[in-house]
């Protein structure tokens, strides 16, 4: 049997029109209705609107969570199971839902509050960096205050985060091939998010976490875990801690995973997995057509 991992995308994977085809299913109709009751606005209307609005943190994060959760439900309905879950930043919430640690409503309420706090953040800067000497980057991060390595996506792509002055100083001090400023309001996954993280932790502590039914690999500590308290603590650390995606990919290989399924819009994560784990079977699961093709090929497997 193929040992499969489900991975869930984060902010940056949003696409206009995503999730609209899912409305053909009863599961999606119910989830969209529940989401509108919680959020006070329509996921579908937002996804059918303009990219500029959809790409605002306040809307992007709930939309991605809900669509990933629906796709998870549809995979389960077809008898599909995964041996391990992981998500990139926001995607960790969908991973925890898929693992049975959070219920749908609790997860969405957390994502809504997270999005509000991150949308309100200001005074920070994030830049994606490609083509660099890793030792030089690490040395610069250690030497320059108020800048961190926020996302370690693969060996040749990272994201740095911090105060604008510190980020610019790092970029000026290290030879790189390409840099792309991210359209975000704050220095996400850095200590500059400490105040927002503290506010969010108070909400997080009030939510019931259950032991995961399958292991979840967290962003800040890329080792598989099922214990509810451990997973909750790791999620608390996420807003100020790094996304260690490269190490997550390596952990999947160490666990004997043979196929990675990206459960959500786009193919960002499978692209990153491909760079770190060549030879891994990769599958996108963002549409009903993807689901139909996957299940008609008898690809659903149950691996403990």
Find the mean pLDDT for residues 214-223.
Answer: 97
Q: What is the pLDDT of residue 303?
A: 42
Classify residue 44: in a domain, yes or no: yes
Strand pairing of 157-162 and 125-132?
antiparallel
CA distance 96 to 210: 9
How many structural domains compose the chain?
A: 2
Question: Which pLDDT score, from 0 to 100, does residue 299 have?
Answer: 65
- The model's pTM is 0.95
Question: Same domain, yes or no, for 207 and 100?
Answer: yes
- Provide the CATH number for the domain around residue 287: 3.40.366.10
Say whether both 8 and 101 belong to one domain. yes
For residue 291, the model assigns a pLDDT of 96
* Rounded CA separation 281/267 (Å): 13
| Domain annotation covers residue 186 | no
Q: Is the pLDDT of residue 61 over 90?
A: yes
Q: Average of pLDDT values for 31-40?
A: 98
pLDDT tens track for 257-288 = 999 999 999 999 999 999 999 999 999 999 99
Q: What is the DSSP string of 71-132?
A: HHHHHHHTT---SEEEESTTHHHHHHHHTTSS-HHHHHHHHHHHHHHHHH--S-EEEEEEEE
The per-residue pLDDT of the chain, averaged, comes to: 95
Residues 176 and 283 in one domain: no
Q: Is residue 301 part of a domain?
A: no
Residue 304 pLDDT grade (very low, low, confident, very high; cuts 50, 70, 90)? very low
The CATH number of residue 161's host domain is 3.30.70.250
| Rounded Cα distance, 118 and 11, in Å | 12
pLDDT digits (tens, 9 = 90+) for 84-113: 999 999 999 999 999 999 999 999 999 999
Residues 30 and 87 reside in one and the same domain: yes
Tens of pLDDT, residue by residue over 222-241, are: 999 999 999 999 999 999 99
Q: Which residues are annotated as catalytic?
A: 89, 189
For residues 43 and 75, state if they share a domain.
yes
Domain extent for 134: 125-181
* 97 assigned to some structural domain: yes
pLDDT surpasses 60 at 215 = yes
């Amino acid at each position: 049997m193929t040992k499969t991992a489900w991975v869930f995308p984060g902010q940056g994977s949003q696409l206009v029109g995503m999730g609209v085809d899912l409305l053909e299913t009863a599961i999606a109709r119910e989830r969209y209705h529940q989401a509108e009751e919680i959020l006070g606005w329509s996921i579908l209307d937002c996804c059918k609107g303009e990219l500029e609005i959809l790409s605002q943190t306040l809307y992007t994060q709930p939309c991605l969570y809900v669509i990933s959760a629906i796709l998870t439900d549809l995979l389960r309905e077809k008898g599909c199971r995964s041996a391990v879950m992981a998500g990139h930043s926001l995607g960790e919430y969908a991973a925890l839902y898929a693992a049975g640690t959070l219920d749908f409503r609790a997860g969405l309420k957390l994502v809504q509050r997270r999005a509000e706090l991150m949308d309100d953040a200001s005074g920070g800067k994030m830049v994606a960096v490609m083509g660099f000497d890793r030792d030089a980057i690490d040395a610069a991060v250690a030497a320059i205050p108020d800048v961190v390595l926020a996302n370690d996506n693969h060996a040749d792509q990272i994201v740095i985060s911090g105060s604008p002055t510190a980020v610019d100083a790092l970029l000026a001090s290290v030879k790189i091939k390409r840099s792309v400023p991210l359209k975000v309001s704050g220095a996400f996954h850095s200590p500059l998010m400490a105040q927002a993280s503290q506010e969010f932790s108070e909400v997080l502590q009030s939510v019931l976490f259950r032991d995961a039914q399958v292991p979840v690999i967290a962003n800040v500590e890329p080792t598989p875990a099922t214990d509810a308290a451990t997973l909750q603590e790791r999620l608390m650390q996420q807003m100020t801690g790094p996304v260690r995606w490269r190490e997550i990919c390596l952990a999947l290989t160490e666990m004997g995973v043979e196929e990675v399924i990206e459960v959500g819009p786009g193919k960002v994560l499978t692209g990153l997995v491909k760079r770190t784990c060549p030879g891994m079977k990769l599958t996108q699961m963002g549409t009903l057509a993807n689901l139909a093709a996957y299940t008609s090929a008898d690809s659903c497997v149950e691996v403990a």
